[in-house]
């Protein structure tokens, strides 16, 4: 059976009982981390401008937690953009899956009263659809202009919404095809407000695609695999596999690939190096004045993604290895407090950024396409000392999860940053058991409950 039809059948047939138990911790973490980053980003400039420019009418879905309401498609657009605005949301499968599909799921769940099991199943449908498409490409989209979040997000969100709304197989095929024609997103827009908008448009497209398909709107049943379809159209060198049977539902990617929960609010391509630098500084008492040079060796994809060697503002700094290293050296961390224009422009930050060189490693980890086997950080001091650290796995990934309490600490920090004065503990616990909820109301009731003291 052709790819689009197979995936449509998978989404329509999927039930909560089919989702592997090993996938549920990642689904729960995905919802929890998404909510945290939504709150943290809801007063960001991209979110503010989007609301001011588009002025959404009131509707059936929650807007930015407790800042009004909007129609489901608009709510998905605004919430996803806000949650990705700080680049603090999780990453997986070469892009940002959770922030593309969860806003669509929650917006539709608000509208139709879906329960936690349906929401968790929808997440699994969206994740596995994305993973199925990404595995078929031998080359790297990042090296060929395409941002996978903007390209695969609309299809994955359409899959999630098709599952949540209970579309039949034919309707789900149409939803995927409609989503595929809304794909897009350029690496060139990294470091600007358009990058988080990629996630917003993906979530919005998913809601629209499933609703249109449910109403009888049609798309081509071979929109993904056709010679003039999505997969061939975006393939960097035309080596994409569009013929083999799908693995979705048989060889599950979610329990193995999981999600990478970010410790730092900047591009994931810098996180292994940040872990390495912070480990060096924890072991060796090196002051910024003692630094002679920093060298970071990473993959070609990471270097091209981190496109700002000399960032001028906070949005560019999120995509700068030089800034990440300078920030770590000065503050022994990289947090929301440092991702501000005034910090980026500080003289000591700019002096240290000029001391950072980024080299590329041509070899690739076969288990992690696009990644070098290790990222290597070398710190040289004025007195000739040389400290190095090679990092295989990023802290927060499935191989090296966040330490006990780290996710809650991030959650609490994000709520404070977004001025949500809820009691964080019960809200955190509800999100970490999202599959047991009767509907979304529990989340918003807890979000409105004032923290003790």
Alpha-carbon dihedral of residues 439, 442, 448, 452, nearest 10 degrees? -170
Q: Are 267 and 298 in contact (CB under 8 A)?
A: no
Determine the Cα angle at 389 with ends 383 and 394, to 5°: 145
376 forms beta bridges with 297, 390
List Cα–Cα distances, 318 to 187, 234, 279, 441, in angstroms.
13, 26, 20, 34
Beta-sheet strand order (sheet of 291-299):
356-361, 291-299, 375-381, 386-391
CA atoms within 13 A on the CB side of 125: 39
User: What CA–CA distance (Å, rounded) separates 149 from 328?
Assistant: 28
Provide the 8-state DSSP code for 57: P
Strands 291-299 and 356-361, bridge-based pairing: parallel
Which pLDDT belongs to residue 90?
96
CATH superfamily of this structure's domain 268-391: 2-methylcitrate dehydratase PrpD (3.30.1330.120)
Which pLDDT belongs to residue 451?
62
User: If you write DSSP's letter for every residue of 391-417 in order, what string do you get?
Assistant: ESS-TTBTTBPPPTTHHHHHHHHHHHH
Which pLDDT belongs to residue 140?
85
Q: Are 257 and 368 in contact (CB under 8 A)?
A: no
Mean pLDDT of successive 10-residue stretches along the chain, which has 453 residues: 96 98 97 98 97 97 97 98 97 96 98 98 98 94 91 98 98 98 95 97 98 98 98 95 97 96 94 97 96 96 93 96 98 94 97 97 77 94 97 91 89 96 96 98 93 54
User: What CA–CA distance (Å, rounded) separates 278 from 142?
Assistant: 27
Among candidate residues 327, 319, 46, the one with its CA nearest the CA of residue 191: 319
The residues near 139 (Cβ < 8 Å, ≥ 6 apart) are 235, 236, 237, 239
Alpha-carbon dihedral of residues 365, 371, 372, 374, nearest 10 degrees? -100
User: What is the residue extent of each domain of the chain?
Assistant: 3-257, 268-391
Please state whether 312 falls in left (phi above 0), alpha (psi between -120 and 50) or beta. alpha
Q: Are 108 and 208 in contact (CB under 8 A)?
A: no
Asked whether the domain spanning 268-391 has the same topology as the one spanning 3-257, the reply is no
Provide the 8-state DSSP code for 40: H
Q: Are 306 and 319 in contact (CB under 8 A)?
A: yes
List Cα–Cα distances, 306 to 27, 37, 190, 191, in angstroms.
28, 21, 9, 9
User: What CA–CA distance (Å, rounded) separates 64 from 58?
Assistant: 13
Q: Give the dihedral sign, CA 184/138/143/363.
A: positive
Which pLDDT belongs to residue 453?
47
Q: Residue 401, Cβ neighbours under 10 Å: how many?
A: 17
Alpha-carbon dihedral of residues 195, 183, 145, 311, nearest 10 degrees? 0
Strands of 2-131, DSSP E: 61-62, 69-70
The residues near 195 (Cβ < 8 Å, ≥ 6 apart) are 84, 87, 147, 189, 315
First to last CA, the chain: 60
Among candidate residues 344, 328, 343, the one with its CA nearest the CA of residue 387: 328
The three-class DSSP label of residue 302 is helix
CATH 1.10.4100.10 fits 3-257, yes or no: yes
List Cα–Cα distances, 437 to 27, 63, 159, 260, 393, in angstroms.
14, 20, 21, 24, 33
Q: Are 102 and 67 in contact (CB under 8 A)?
A: no
């Amino acid at each position: 059976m052709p790819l689009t039809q197979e995936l449509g059948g998978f989404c329509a047939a999927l039930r909560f009982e089919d989702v592997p138990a090993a996938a549920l911790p990642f689904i729960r973490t995905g919802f929890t981390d998404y909510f945290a980053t939504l709150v943290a980003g809801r007063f960001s400039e991209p979110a503010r401008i989007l609301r001011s420019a588009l002025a959404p009418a009131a509707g059936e879905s929650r807007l930015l937690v407790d800042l009004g309401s909007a129609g489901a498609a608009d709510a998905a657009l605004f919430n996803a953009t806000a949650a990705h605005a700080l680049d603090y949301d999780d990453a997986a499968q070469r892009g940002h899956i959770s922030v593309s599909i969860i806003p669509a799921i929650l917006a539709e769940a608000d509208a139709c009263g879906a329960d936690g099991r349906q929401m968790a199943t929808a997440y699994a449908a969206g994740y596995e659809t994305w993973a199925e498409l990404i595995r078929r490409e031998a080359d790297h989209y990042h090296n060929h202009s395409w941002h996978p979040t903007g390209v695969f997000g609309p299809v994955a969100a359409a899959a999630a919404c098709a599952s949540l709304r209970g579309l039949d197989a034919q309707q789900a095929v149409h939803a995927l095809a409609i989503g595929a024609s809304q794909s897009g997103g350029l690496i060139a827009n990294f470091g600007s407000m358009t990058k988080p908008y990629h996630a917003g448009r993906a979530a919005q497209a998913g809601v629209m695609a499933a609703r249109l398909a449910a109403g009888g709107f049609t798309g081509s049943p071979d929109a993904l695999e056709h010679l003039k379809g999505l997969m061939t159209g975006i393939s960097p060198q035309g080596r994409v596999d569009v013929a083999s049977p799908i693995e979705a539902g048989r060889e599950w990617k979610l329990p193995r690939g999981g999600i990478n929960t970010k410790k730092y609010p900047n591009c994931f391509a810098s996180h292994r190096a940040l872990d390495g630098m912070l480990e060096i500084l924890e072991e060796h008492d090196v002051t910024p004045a003692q630094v002679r040079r920093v060298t970071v060796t990473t993959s070609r994809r990471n270097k091209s993604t981190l496109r700002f060697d000399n960032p001028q503002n906070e949005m560019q700094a999120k995509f700068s290895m030089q800034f990440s290293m300078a920030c770590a050296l000065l503050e022994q961390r990289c947090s929301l407090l440092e991702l501000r224009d005034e910090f980026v422009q500080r003289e000591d930050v700019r002096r240290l950024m000029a001391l950072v060189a980024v080299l590329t490693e041509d070899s690739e980890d076969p288990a992690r396409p696009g990644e070098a086997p290790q990222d290597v950080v070398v710190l040289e001091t004025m007195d000739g000392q040389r400290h190095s650290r090679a990092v295989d796995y990023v802290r927060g990934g499935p191989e090296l999860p966040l330490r006990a309490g780290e996710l809650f600490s991030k959650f609490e920090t994000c709520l404070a940053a977004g001025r949500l004065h809820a009691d964080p503990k019960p809200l955190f616990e509800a999100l970490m058991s999202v599959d047991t909820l009767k509907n979304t109301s529990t989340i918003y009731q807890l979000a409105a409950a004032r923290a003790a003291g």
